Protein backbone atom coordinates (compact mmCIF):
# COMPACT_ATOMS: atom_id res chain seq x y z
CA UNK A 1 0.00 0.00 0.00
CA UNK A 2 1.30 3.34 -1.04
CA UNK A 3 1.23 6.41 1.19
CA UNK A 4 -0.31 9.56 -0.22
CA UNK A 5 2.17 12.38 -0.88
CA UNK A 6 2.53 14.95 1.94
CA UNK A 7 1.74 18.44 0.82
CA UNK A 8 3.71 21.44 2.23
CA UNK A 9 0.57 22.93 3.84
CA UNK A 10 -0.22 19.70 5.67
CA UNK A 11 3.40 19.45 6.87
CA UNK A 12 3.19 23.02 8.32
CA UNK A 13 -0.02 22.21 10.16
CA UNK A 14 1.45 19.06 11.68
CA UNK A 15 4.66 20.69 12.82
CA UNK A 16 2.79 23.16 15.15
CA UNK A 17 3.31 26.43 13.31
CA UNK A 18 -0.25 27.54 13.90
CA UNK A 19 -1.17 29.99 16.72
CA UNK A 20 1.09 32.21 18.86
CA UNK A 21 4.57 31.44 20.02
CA UNK A 22 5.39 31.72 23.71
CA UNK A 23 7.76 34.61 23.05
CA UNK A 24 4.96 36.58 21.37
CA UNK A 25 2.69 36.12 24.40
CA UNK A 26 5.46 37.15 26.81
CA UNK A 27 6.16 40.28 24.74
CA UNK A 28 2.49 41.25 24.79
CA UNK A 29 2.31 40.79 28.57
CA UNK A 30 5.44 42.94 28.99
CA UNK A 31 3.92 45.71 26.85
CA UNK A 32 0.65 45.60 28.84
CA UNK A 33 2.63 45.72 32.09
CA UNK A 34 4.61 48.76 30.95
CA UNK A 35 1.46 50.59 29.89
CA UNK A 36 -0.19 49.82 33.24
CA UNK A 37 2.88 51.05 35.13
CA UNK A 38 2.78 54.34 33.23
CA UNK A 39 -0.98 54.95 33.23
CA UNK A 40 -2.14 53.79 36.68
CA UNK A 41 -0.16 56.29 38.80
CA UNK A 42 -1.57 59.14 36.70
CA UNK A 43 -5.17 58.23 37.52
CA UNK A 44 -6.62 60.30 40.36
CA UNK A 45 -7.48 58.29 43.43
CA UNK A 46 -10.25 59.55 45.65
CA UNK A 47 -10.23 58.94 49.37
CA UNK A 48 -12.55 56.05 50.18
CA UNK A 49 -15.15 56.08 52.93
CA UNK A 50 -13.06 53.66 54.99
CA UNK A 51 -9.91 55.77 54.60
CA UNK A 52 -11.78 58.94 55.62
CA UNK A 53 -13.07 57.11 58.69
CA UNK A 54 -9.53 55.98 59.54
CA UNK A 55 -8.34 59.62 59.34
CA UNK A 56 -11.12 60.59 61.77
CA UNK A 57 -10.19 57.76 64.16
CA UNK A 58 -6.50 58.66 63.94
CA UNK A 59 -7.28 62.32 64.70
CA UNK A 60 -9.48 61.35 67.66
CA UNK A 61 -6.75 59.05 68.99
CA UNK A 62 -4.20 61.87 68.75
CA UNK A 63 -6.52 64.23 70.66
CA UNK A 64 -7.24 61.60 73.33
CA UNK A 65 -3.54 60.90 73.78
CA UNK A 66 -2.85 64.62 74.28
CA UNK A 67 -5.70 64.87 76.82
CA UNK A 68 -4.46 61.80 78.71
CA UNK A 69 -0.93 63.22 78.81
CA UNK A 70 -2.24 66.53 80.21
CA UNK A 71 -4.06 64.63 82.96
CA UNK A 72 -1.23 62.22 83.74
CA UNK A 73 1.64 64.74 83.75
CA UNK A 74 -0.45 67.63 85.13
CA UNK A 75 0.67 70.00 82.36
CA UNK A 76 -1.24 71.92 79.67
CA UNK A 77 -1.00 70.37 76.19
CA UNK A 78 -1.83 72.01 72.83
CA UNK A 79 -2.93 70.08 69.76
CA UNK A 80 -2.31 72.33 66.76
CA UNK A 81 -4.67 72.36 63.78
CA UNK A 82 -3.45 73.82 60.47
CA UNK A 83 -6.40 73.93 58.07
CA UNK A 84 -4.40 75.32 55.15
CA UNK A 85 -1.81 72.54 55.32
CA UNK A 86 -4.52 69.97 56.21
CA UNK A 87 -2.61 68.68 59.23
CA UNK A 88 -3.17 68.05 62.94
CA UNK A 89 -0.09 67.98 65.21
CA UNK A 90 0.17 66.44 68.67
CA UNK A 91 1.50 68.75 71.36
CA UNK A 92 3.24 65.90 73.17
CA UNK A 93 4.67 63.47 70.62
CA UNK A 94 4.84 65.78 67.62
CA UNK A 95 3.02 63.15 65.58
CA UNK A 96 1.21 64.68 62.60
CA UNK A 97 -1.94 63.50 60.84
CA UNK A 98 -1.72 64.70 57.23
CA UNK A 99 -4.81 64.64 55.06
CA UNK A 100 -4.85 64.16 51.26
CA UNK A 101 -5.87 66.96 48.92
CA UNK A 102 -9.37 65.63 48.28
CA UNK A 103 -10.22 65.76 52.01
CA UNK A 104 -11.22 69.15 53.39
CA UNK A 105 -10.34 70.13 56.95
CA UNK A 106 -12.34 72.74 58.82
CA UNK A 107 -11.69 73.60 62.45
CA UNK A 108 -14.19 75.36 64.70
CA UNK A 109 -12.08 76.46 67.66
CA UNK A 110 -12.68 78.68 70.65
CA UNK A 111 -11.63 82.27 69.95
CA UNK A 112 -10.93 82.87 73.65
CA UNK A 113 -9.86 80.30 76.17
CA UNK A 114 -8.12 81.20 79.38
CA UNK A 115 -5.44 83.76 78.58
CA UNK A 116 -5.07 83.08 74.85
CA UNK A 117 -7.02 85.00 72.22
CA UNK A 118 -6.69 83.42 68.76
CA UNK A 119 -7.57 79.78 68.25
CA UNK A 120 -5.29 77.57 66.18
CA UNK A 121 -5.18 74.76 68.69
CA UNK A 122 -7.23 72.72 71.09
CA UNK A 123 -5.75 73.11 74.56
CA UNK A 124 -6.05 70.40 77.21
CA UNK A 125 -5.59 71.33 80.86
CA UNK A 126 -4.34 69.29 83.84
CA UNK A 127 -7.87 69.29 85.28
CA UNK A 128 -9.21 67.38 82.26
CA UNK A 129 -10.98 70.40 80.82
CA UNK A 130 -10.14 71.81 77.40
CA UNK A 131 -10.80 74.79 75.17
CA UNK A 132 -13.03 72.53 73.14
CA UNK A 133 -13.72 72.66 69.46
CA UNK A 134 -14.64 70.58 66.46
CA UNK A 135 -12.62 69.33 63.51
CA UNK A 136 -14.57 68.48 60.35
CA UNK A 137 -13.06 66.08 57.79
CA UNK A 138 -15.02 65.78 54.56
CA UNK A 139 -14.94 64.50 51.02
CA UNK A 140 -17.80 64.66 48.50
CA UNK A 141 -20.76 62.79 49.93
CA UNK A 142 -19.27 61.91 53.31
CA UNK A 143 -17.75 63.55 56.36
CA UNK A 144 -16.86 63.14 60.01
CA UNK A 145 -16.75 65.64 62.82
CA UNK A 146 -14.38 65.11 65.74
CA UNK A 147 -15.78 67.02 68.71
CA UNK A 148 -13.86 67.94 71.85
CA UNK A 149 -16.04 68.81 74.85
CA UNK A 150 -14.77 71.92 76.62
CA UNK A 151 -15.94 70.81 80.08
CA UNK A 152 -14.82 67.17 80.14
CA UNK A 153 -12.20 67.17 77.38
CA UNK A 154 -13.93 64.09 75.96
CA UNK A 155 -13.44 63.33 72.26
CA UNK A 156 -16.28 62.01 70.06
CA UNK A 157 -16.56 61.17 66.36
CA UNK A 158 -19.85 62.05 64.66
CA UNK A 159 -20.52 60.91 61.04
CA UNK A 160 -22.00 63.54 58.71
CA UNK A 161 -23.96 62.85 55.54
CA UNK A 162 -23.08 65.49 52.96
CA UNK A 163 -24.92 66.25 49.74
- The residue that leads in pLDDT, 61 or 162, is 61
N- to C-terminal Cα separation, the chain: 87
Q: What is the pLDDT of residues 112-155, one digit of tens each?
A: 887 766 578 899 999 989 989 999 999 888 899 999 998 999 99
Rounded Cα distance, 101 and 94, in Å:
22
What's the confidence (pLDDT) of residue 156? 95
Average pLDDT over residues 75-101: 92
Domain boundaries 49-160, corresponding CATH code: 3.55.40.10
DSSP alpha helix (H) spans, the chain? 8-14, 22-39, 49-73
Q: What is the pLDDT of residues 47-62, one digit of tens each?
A: 888 899 999 999 999 9
Contact 129, 150 (CB under 8 A): yes
From the CA atom positions of the chain, what is the Rg in Å?
A: 31
Contact 108, 138 (CB under 8 A): no
Contact 68, 93 (CB under 8 A): no
Domain ranges of the chain: 8-42, 49-160
Rounded Cα distance, 94 and 65, in Å:
11
Q: What residues form DSSP beta bridges with 108?
A: 134
What's the confidence (pLDDT) of residue 163? 59
Question: Mean pLDDT for the chain?
Answer: 86
Among 18-27, 28-37, 70-79, 93-102, the minimum mean pLDDT is found in 18-27
Quote the percentage of the chain above a pLDDT of 70: 84
Predicted TM-score of the model (pTM): 0.71
Backbone angles phi, psi at 56, to 5 degrees: -65, -45
Amino acid sequence: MERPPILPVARAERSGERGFALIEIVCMLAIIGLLAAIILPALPRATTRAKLESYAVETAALLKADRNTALRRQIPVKTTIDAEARSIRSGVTGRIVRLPKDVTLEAMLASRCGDRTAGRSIDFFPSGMSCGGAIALARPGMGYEIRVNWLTGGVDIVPKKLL
